[in-house]
C-alpha cells in the first residue's frame, strides 16, 4: 500500500469509537463526504479484534472514497499486519508512550504515514528532531473531553498559535472539537481538526463532515 504523503488532507480527520458495524458505517459515510483521514481507535479491543476492525474500516473507506487515508491509533504492529494483508491502511498515529517514531518508521516503511501526539510547546519542540520521520502532529486537548484524559490543560483556539509557530509540520487539533470551533482553529494555523463524538454520535455524520470542511476552507 502506497501512502499519499504529498496529498495528505488533514482538514477533517475522523477518529472512530466503538467496534460495532456502525463504526464501520460511520467511517465510510465520513469518507464519502470528504473526510481526508479516518483513524481507527479502539483502545479496549484485543489485538485480534482491532485488526479485524481495521480491515473492515479500511475496506469500507476504500470503497467509499479511495483518496481517504486510513490510520491505526497507537498500534504500529496492527497497521503493519493490515498492510501486509493488502488492506488500504496507510500508517499509524502514535502517542508519546507508544512505539518510538523511528522504530515505527522502520517497521512500516518509508511510504507509510506517521503522526505523533503532542499538546504543549515543549512536546512540539521535542518532536523537532523527528520531523523527517513524521507527517503531522496531533495536538490537544482543544477543550477537556470525556473520551480521553491526556493530563494536559486545554489549549483553546489561541493556544494553537504557539504550537503551529514551533514546527514546520502540520498540526491537527483534537479534543471535543465541534464544527462551530473550526473557523477559529483554522485562523490559529492548524491544518485540520480531529473529531470523535461530533461525527460518531451524529445523526448525520456526512453532514458534520461537510460543515467542518466548509469551516476550514480550501486546502
Q: How far apart are CA 20 and CA 69, in angstroms?
A: 21
39 assigned to a ligand binding site: yes
146 assigned to a ligand binding site: yes
Neighbouring residues of 63: CB distance < 8 A, sequence distance ≥ 6: 28
DSSP 8-state symbol, 70: E
16 assigned to a ligand binding site: no
Reading phi first (left if > 0) and then psi (alpha if -120 to 50, else beta), residue 127 is in alpha
Beta bridge partners of 193: 12, 173
135 assigned to a ligand binding site: no
74 assigned to a ligand binding site: yes
148 assigned to a ligand binding site: yes
Reading phi first (left if > 0) and then psi (alpha if -120 to 50, else beta), residue 154 is in beta
Residue 168, CA distances (Å) to 96, 105, 136, 191 in order = 19, 19, 9, 11
96 assigned to a ligand binding site: no
47 assigned to a ligand binding site: no
118 assigned to a ligand binding site: no
Q: Which residues are annotated as a binding site?
A: 39-43, 73-74, 98, 117, 145-148
Q: Which residues are annotated as a binding site for Mg(2+)?
A: 74, 98
Amino acid at each position: 500500500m502506497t501512502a499519499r504523503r504529498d496529498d495528505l488532507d488533514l482538514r477533517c480527520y475522523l477518529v472512530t469509537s466503538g467496534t460495532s458495524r456502525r463504526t464501520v458505517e460511520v467511517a465510510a459515510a465520513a469518507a464519502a463526504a470528504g473526510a481526508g483521514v479516518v483513524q481507527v481507535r479502539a483502545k479496549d479491543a484485543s489485538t485480534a479484534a482491532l485488526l479485524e476492525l481495521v480491515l473492515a474500516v479500511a475496506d469500507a473507506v476504500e470503497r467509499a472514497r479511495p483518496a481517504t487515508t486510513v490510520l491505526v491509533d497507537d498500534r504500529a504492529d496492527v497497521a503493519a499486519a493490515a498492510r501486509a494483508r493488502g488492506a488500504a491502511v496507510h500508517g499509524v498515529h502514535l502517542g508519546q508512550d507508544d512505539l518510538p517514531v523511528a522504530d515505527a518508521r522502520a517497521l512500516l516503511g518509508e511510504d507509510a504515514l506517521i503522526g505523533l501526539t503532542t499538546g504543549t510547546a515543549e512536546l512540539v519542540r521535542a518532536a523537532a528532531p523527528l520531523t523527517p520521520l513524521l507527517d503531522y502532529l496531533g495536538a490537544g486537548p482543544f477543550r477537556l473531553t470525556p473520551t480521553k484524559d491526556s493530563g494536559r490543560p486545554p489549549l483553546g483556539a489561541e493556544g494553537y498559535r504557539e504550537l503551529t509557530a514551533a514546527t514546520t509540520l502540520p498540526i491537527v487539533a483534537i479534543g471535543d472539537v465541534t464544527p462551530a470551533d473550526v473557523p477559529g482553529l483554522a485562523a490559529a494555523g492548524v491544518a485540520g481538526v480531529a473529531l470523535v463524538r461530533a461525527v460518531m454520535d451524529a445523526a448525520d455524520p456526512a453532514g458534520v463532515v461537510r460543515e467542518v470542511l466548509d469551516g476550514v476552507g480550501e486546502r
